[in-house]
Amino acid sequence: MPQSTRPIAAEVADEFSRTAKVLVRRFDERLGEYGVSTPRSRLVAEIARSQPIRLTELASTVGIAQGTASTLVDALVRDGLVERHASADDRRAVLLRVTEDGAALAHQWTAAYERAADELLRPLTARELTTLRGFLQRLGDAGTETE
């Protein structure tokens, strides 16, 4: 009966894609109650945590392309949550900071993000979460290394 000739790796890839989409959707639902999308929330949180931070560093920390970060930050600046400052050292660089409004919202959104994470990942025990984090890091790092 089991015609599972489908390789385990392919199955995991399928499942990964599925689960990633489901989780993204649920995160967006949770954060949507606060009137913010997940990407915006993550960007503001990261800027608040590491300010002042360069655009490129922000992009790589959050794991998005530099161009994407540029566009998203643009919207945050338009909304008055983030400010761009020229760097004194390097006039090409842009240093990002949150505004007062941005800081307040960042605080609120970070809490909401953490609650959502806690809730959505509840099916796994703390021990399993640690294992999962290890798996994810190994998968994400492979190929990024010194090769």
The option from a copy of itself, DNA, none interacting with 40 (CB < 5 to 8 A, set by class) reads DNA
The option from DNA, a copy of itself, none interacting with 93 (CB < 5 to 8 A, set by class) reads DNA
Distance of CA 59 to the CA centre of its chain: 10
CA distance 52 to 54: 7
Q: Which residues bind DNA (CB under 7 A)?
A: 21, 25, 37, 39-40, 54-57, 63-68, 70-75, 84, 87, 90-95
Q: In 3-state terms, what secondary structure has residue 86?
A: strand
For tokens 């010194």, the residue is 146
Nearer CB in complex with a copy of itself: 1/88: 1
CB of 134 to DNA, least distance (A): 23
Q: Which residues bind a copy of itself (CB under 8 A)?
A: 6-24, 26-27, 42, 62-64, 113-114, 116-118, 120-124, 126, 128-133, 135-144
Nearer CB in complex with a copy of itself: 49/84: 49
DSSP string, 49-71: HH-SEEHHHHHHHHT--HHHHHH
Burial class (CB in 10 A: 0-12, 13-18, 19+), 72: buried
Nearer CB in complex with DNA: 79/128: 79
CB of 91 to DNA, least distance (A): 3
Beta strands in the chain (DSSP E): 53-54, 82-86, 94-98
CB 63 within 8 A of CB 104: no
The option from DNA, a copy of itself, none interacting with 50 (CB < 5 to 8 A, set by class) reads none
